[in-house]
């Protein structure tokens, strides 16, 4: 598995953009980057995934560097409900989305 490194915690003011970084310097050319989050006492929730190009959906944007060694998840207007642990995951193999290995993630705290 491509190992990922994330900061253990981050704070963000409500209404501001939350930018969550992830390093995955050993990622292979055909491996995707996935982001999930886990709100306290709930099951993990899929956010977004990408390979090379930047991606955007209704929840977030994913910016992947040109060398693919790092990425940033952007929550454009964070709300209190976005307080959660955010996981950056690079499953093995092409696509590889079926065997997720969760690390320690980043605890994002959104405050007033």
Rule CB under 8 A: is residue 21 a binding residue for another protein?
Answer: no
Among 8, 29, 41, 67, binds another protein (CB under 8 A): 41
Please list, in sequence order, all residues whose beta carbon lies within 8 angstroms of the beta carbon of residue 80, skipping any fewer than 6 positions away. 14, 110, 111, 112
Among 29, 42, 66, 67, binds another protein (CB under 8 A): 42
To another protein, the closest distance from the beta carbon of 52 in angstroms equals 11
Task: Name residues contacting another protein, limited to 50-109 (CB under 8 A).
Answer: 51, 85, 93-104
Among 2, 35, 49, 106, binds another protein (CB under 8 A): 49
# chain residues binding another protein, by CB under 8 A: 23
Q: Per-residue DSSP letters for 32-96?
A: -EEEEEE-TTS--EEEEEESSS-EE-SS-EEEE-TTSSEEEEEETT--GGG-EEEEEE--SSSS-
- Identify the H or E element spanning 20: strand 18-23
* Residues that bind another protein in the complex, under the rule CB under 8 A: 32, 38, 41-46, 49, 51, 85, 93-104
């Amino acid at each position: 598995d491509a190992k990922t490194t994330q900061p253990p915690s981050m704070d963000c003011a409500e209404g501001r953009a939350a930018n969550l970084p992830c390093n995955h310097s050993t990622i292979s050319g055909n491996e995707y980057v996935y982001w999930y989050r886990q709100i306290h006492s709930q099951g993990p929730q899929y956010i977004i995934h990408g390979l090379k190009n930047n991606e955007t959906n209704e929840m977030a944007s994913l910016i992947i560097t040109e060398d693919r060694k790092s990425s940033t998840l952007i929550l454009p207007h964070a709300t209190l409900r976005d307080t959660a642990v955010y996981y950056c995951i690079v499953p093995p193999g092409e696509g590889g989305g079926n065997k997720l290995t969760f690390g320690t993630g980043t605890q994002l705290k959104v405050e007033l």
